[in-house]
Structure 1
Amino acid sequence: MKKSLLFLLLVFIQFVNSQELALVKKNGKSGYIAKDGSFKIEPQYKAARSFSEGLAAIQDNGKWGFIDKKGTLVIPATFDDAKDFNSGVAIVKKVKDWVYINTKGEVLNAPATDKLFDFNEGVAFFRQADKVGLINSKMTVVLEPKYDQIKPFENGYARVESNKKWGIINTGGKELVEPAYDEIGNYFKNTTWARKDKTFGIVSAGKFIPVDGAEKIWDFENQDLTYAKKNDKIGFIDLKGNWIILPIYDKAKAFYKNLAPVCVGSKWGYINPKAEFVIPPTYSDAEVFAANGLAPVKEKNWGFINEAGKLVIPTQYGITANGFIALFVQQDKGFIDGVARVKNEGKWGFLKPDGTVLGNQWFENAELFSQAGEKSNTNEAAAEKPKAETKAVTKPASKKKK
């Protein structure tokens, strides 16, 4: 019985992995490759977006529609523009109007709003009289407009502004941290950092705890430590606001797998939570470790080291976009779900952990892999940069604008 369950689990994992597709451009046309490097959907579109919740927006004869993972057009190309699906809803443009549609292509009736905002984690913002609230994917009001600004949700929580003070809410609109701070961080394990006047501290259980001498605090990410600045140097604090690693570094990044990149002078290395250098500072730049135990490091170009500090992939690649391409290529760096997107001699491709190139192919553009049946975290091509609150689509000029 156990063997049968294990077999079914392995089959399920293989099936899920087979659904991961990446948007790539080859010979001026966009298509989609699978994790084995083969084309799942051949390059044939002038413009396209990454898959999100099983659907991808593509342009056909100047109009936008949506295909499924087999390349079948399931929502006809009748729109003048289209954005990604999230929470079962996408924003599309019909002539001059932006509207919400469901996965059947049916137009949804949303509450009156000055702008249409992308859905994220089951909710979307709506704005009335310069105040922002929340609706769910059923177009039901979750939170009446009451805040001046709401930042995008992260792991179920969002920063909100009211009368130039910041707090935290959840996707149900419940206020977890009242807007009482001049600046606030993300919400991690019921804790956040905040600034009150000129004092930085930790907010836990509704109580503000000043952090001794802190001049800036960065968001908690993967572990119960985050980096903070004191006397123009960087150290690490815990969730209670205690300095666990003294501020002696010039720069630092987040801990993951008990290793954090830190910079001394102009060189980067990695320390453990005891502030011991596990990997000496010899690199011109370094990024956080991935779940597979590899981290990007830079000499003249970028390569990858393992947790022992051994260079396992030579430093010969680029890992970040620049110029126009940076507007639509998500800047996540390093290994994500088993592959790393890199640039080599002006082309983009994917590295496997052994350093070989996925499918032995390079492309004019390549976006991150996304589950064909899950929502995508990838920015769509040719989209405008996010607004201060989140991505939004302004309604026609007859409506009130921000």
Structure 2
Amino acid sequence: MKKPLLFLFVLFIQFVNSQELALVKKNAKIGYISKDGNFKIEPQYKSAKSFSEGLAAVEDNGKWGFIDTKGTWVIPATFNNAKDFNSGIAIVQKEKDWVYIDTKGEILKAPFSDKLFDFNNGVAFIRQNTKVGLINPKMTVVLEPKYDQIKPFENGFARVELNKKWGIINTAGKELVEPAYDEIGNYFKNTAWARKDKNFGIVSAGNFIAVDGAEKIWDFETQDLTYAKKNGKIGFIDLKGNWTILPIYDKAKAFSKNLAPVCVGSKWGYINPKAEFVIPPTYSDAEVFSTNGLAPVKEKNWGFINETGKLVIPTQYAITSNGFVIALFVQQDKGFIDGLARVKNEGKWGFLKPDGTVLGNQWFENAELFSQSKERNSTNEAAAEKPKTETKPATKPEAKPAGKKKK
């Protein structure tokens, strides 16, 4: 009987450690709420950052350290600055130097790099002179610096530039698309859009297929259709580069739940993959549907509709992709994410439930999105820029390269 009890206890511990918390500001102090609407950590900090991988960077008397989801100090506040944990690694500033630390707060010895870069998707960039490569959390080089630029990894893939041509690599540093294109999009189902000279098309299995008349193509996201421009109008193409919906719209956004926002004149509605209007164009703006089947739509302010077009939450709110600290948000950040939508009402921020009620019936001076013990996407990118163009890291959790590392 002891083993089942131990197993249940471990499950309980894992559940507690993975709970989602949101950073909020109340009475000029920062605290953290859970999804039941109650404070898990009471507002008490002047400066703090969202949780990432179960730890949050918090300032104490001008120094930064890390707390866990109970508010207990796990890594003492001894650093001048600190960034989020990702892949078990965080960048911190100790006196004048930026270094990597693990979740125990121990400094890690990393291969030389002109700058330190955030980990993301299990790798971090290293830059030596004018070339960029990759290291893993064990501080082992997995890709020797060879590219002029590497864009942020998304779902395990990144765009790379070499000699002013673009391709795609994975986190092991393997080239999936040879750098042979003037522009390239994100990798989706072994496919990416690309531009070769003046021609836009699709790259799949190493072959480039020009899309008839395309002037611009946007990234594929959750479905096998993406929007593209031809003769100044927007339509949709499939993974093979075929026009499946003729370019007749003035603007468009991605398909989700088999519905895509499109704009005709100045009004937005939603079409299905057959180009039929399921929701007529009556709104001044519209966003993609979230996984829970609700989408933000705007009249004078923002509200939410369901997949039949019924307005289930009145258009009385403001929505935004930016909190009061610069954060790294996932797609559809203007809608419902994991069951809650962050909105603004009469100068205060709160979280809506799908039924339109406010989480905990509380409004805050500011609020960040809920985060838990999982990796967050990073807008950090590595390029072979000259040292004089480098920017120092801000005190906010921007995904910019940290300062120079000493040899």
Per the alignment, do residues 108 and 294 of structure 1 end up closer, same or farther by CA in structure 2, a change over 3 Å counting? same
Query: Which runs of 5 or more residues in structure 2 are unaligned?
Result: 380-392
SS in 1 for 2:91: strand
Per the alignment, do residues 163 and 153 of structure 1 end up closer, same or farther by CA in structure 2, a change over 3 Å counting? same
Report the counterpart of residue 288 of structure 1 in structure 2.
288
Report the counterpart of residue 259 of structure 1 in structure 2.
259
Maintained 8 Å contact 1:267/1:285: yes
Maintained 8 Å contact 1:368/1:378: no
**Using the alignment, how far apart are the partners of 2:325 and 2:69 within structure 1?**
26
Query: Which amino acid in the other structure matches residue 358 of structure 1?
Result: L
Maintained 8 Å contact 1:328/1:382: no
Asked if 1:140 is matched to 2:140, the reply is yes
Per the alignment, do residues 18 and 208 of structure 1 end up closer, same or farther by CA in structure 2, a change over 3 Å counting? closer
SS in 2 for 1:370: coil
Query: Which amino acid in the other structure matches residue 403 of structure 2?
Result: T
Per the alignment, do residues 357 and 381 of structure 1 end up closer, same or farther by CA in structure 2, a change over 3 Å counting? farther
Maintained 8 Å contact 1:321/1:329: no
**Pairwise CA RMSD:** 2.2
**Using the alignment, how far apart are the partners of 1:329 and 1:99 within structure 2?**
21
Query: Which amino acid in the other structure matches residue 346 of structure 1?
Result: G
The equivalences for 1:173-192 within 5 A come to: 173-192=173-192
Report the counterpart of residue 365 of structure 1 in structure 2.
366
SS in 2 for 1:159: strand
**Using the alignment, how far apart are the partners of 1:63 and 1:17 within structure 2?**
25
Maintained 8 Å contact 1:118/1:392: yes
Query: Which amino acid in the other structure matches residue 200 of structure 1?
Result: F
The equivalences for 1:31-180 within 5 A come to: 31-180=31-180
Maintained 8 Å contact 2:60/2:77: yes
State TM-score, norm by structure 1: 0.91
Maintained 8 Å contact 1:118/1:124: yes
How far 1:129 sits from its partner (Å)? Answer: 1.1
String of CA shifts for 1:164-193, please: whole Å, max 9, x gaps.
Answer: 100000000000000000000000000000
Per the alignment, do residues 75 and 145 of structure 1 end up closer, same or farther by CA in structure 2, a change over 3 Å counting? same
Query: Which amino acid in the other structure matches residue 106 of structure 1?
Result: E
**Using the alignment, how far apart are the partners of 2:326 and 2:68 within structure 1?**
25
**Using the alignment, how far apart are the partners of 1:302 and 1:378 within structure 2?**
28
Report the counterpart of residue 403 of structure 2 in structure 1.
394
Query: Which amino acid in the other structure matches residue 294 of structure 1?
Result: L
**Bigger proportion of residues as strand:** 1
Report the counterpart of residue 383 of structure 1 in structure 2.
396
Report the counterpart of residue 246 of structure 1 in structure 2.
246
SS in 1 for 2:360: helix
Maintained 8 Å contact 2:24/2:367: yes
How far 1:353 sits from its partner (Å)? Answer: 0.3
String of CA shifts for 1:107-160, please: whole Å, max 9, x gaps.
Answer: 000001000000001000000011000000000000000000000100000000
**How many residues were matched structurally?**
384
Query: Which amino acid in the other structure matches residue 171 of structure 2?
Result: T
Per the alignment, do residues 231 and 162 of structure 1 end up closer, same or farther by CA in structure 2, a change over 3 Å counting? same
**Using the alignment, how far apart are the partners of 1:196 and 1:330 within structure 2?**
31
String of CA shifts for 1:15-67, please: whole Å, max 9, x gaps.
Answer: 47971100111111111000000000001111111111111000011100000
Maintained 8 Å contact 1:133/1:146: yes
String of CA shifts for 1:317-375, please: whole Å, max 9, x gaps.
Answer: 010167x947448482100000000011111110000000000111111111011x323
Report the counterpart of residue 318 of structure 1 in structure 2.
318
Report the counterpart of residue 298 of structure 1 in structure 2.
298
State TM-score, norm by structure 2: 0.90
**Using the alignment, how far apart are the partners of 1:116 and 1:97 within structure 2?**
10
Aligned identity (percent) is: 82
Per the alignment, do residues 72 and 368 of structure 1 end up closer, same or farther by CA in structure 2, a change over 3 Å counting? same
Query: Which runs of 5 or more residues in structure 1 are unaligned?
Result: none
**Using the alignment, how far apart are the partners of 1:330 and 1:270 within structure 2?**
24
Query: Which amino acid in the other structure matches residue 334 of structure 2?
Result: K
**Using the alignment, how far apart are the partners of 1:359 and 1:282 within structure 2?**
33
| Bigger mean CA deviation after superposition, 140-149 or 12-21 | 12-21
SS in 2 for 1:359: helix
**Using the alignment, how far apart are the partners of 1:42 and 1:218 within structure 2?**
43
Query: Which amino acid in the other structure matches residue 131 of structure 2?
Result: K
SS in 2 for 1:303: strand
Maintained 8 Å contact 2:82/2:93: yes
Report the counterpart of residue 351 of structure 1 in structure 2.
352
Maintained 8 Å contact 2:25/2:367: yes
SS in 2 for 1:393: coil
SS in 2 for 1:115: coil
Report the counterpart of residue 333 of structure 1 in structure 2.
334
